[in-house]
Amino acid sequence: MARTNSRLSRVVKEAVARILTQDISDPRLQLVTITDAEVTRDQSYATIWYSTIPQGVLAADPLRTGGDRPASDEEVAAAFASAHGRIQGLLADRLTSRKTPELRFEADPVTEQAARVEDLIRRVRDRERSGDDVVVGDGVVDPEVDARPDPLDEEWDRTDADDPSA
């Protein structure tokens, strides 16, 4: 989708985020964050990207967390479908442009991908610490054999990387 000027996208993003926090009382949308908005060049449509707190972040027992339970992806999608008309109308009231883009709500894949990458890194580092072989793709990497320096390691020295005998 071609983006229109970033100013309108930013205004729509901020307005929808405010609408969710101030005007929508659906508990399924309480732990939702608006991450981005993309408005088409002709201003007919705006895709609103959102993220949710993963189910495992808060305790599973709602009594221990004061009742906060992150809604599932399906529940959030249903809540946006239910509140779509109200959000659309409130956005029209807040925009100064002649045309209000039709809203489309999409889960932001970036947050899920980032969580997945963090989980993979954590699992690899845990295995390295335990001395187990680290499985990468189809192969197995033996930490003793593959002893190249890790540039993310704080003790790594660039001069060691240039010296093949190090």
Which CATH number is associated with domain 6-114?
A: 3.30.300.20
43, 8 contact by CB (below 8 A)? yes
**pLDDT per position as a tens digit, 97-111:** 888 999 999 998 887
Which range has the worst mean pLDDT, 105-114, 129-138, 155-164?
155-164
Please report, for the chain, the start and end positions of each structural domain, with discontinuous segments joined by +.
6-114
**pLDDT per position as a tens digit, 44-65:** 999 999 998 766 656 555 555 5
The mean pLDDT of the chain is: 78
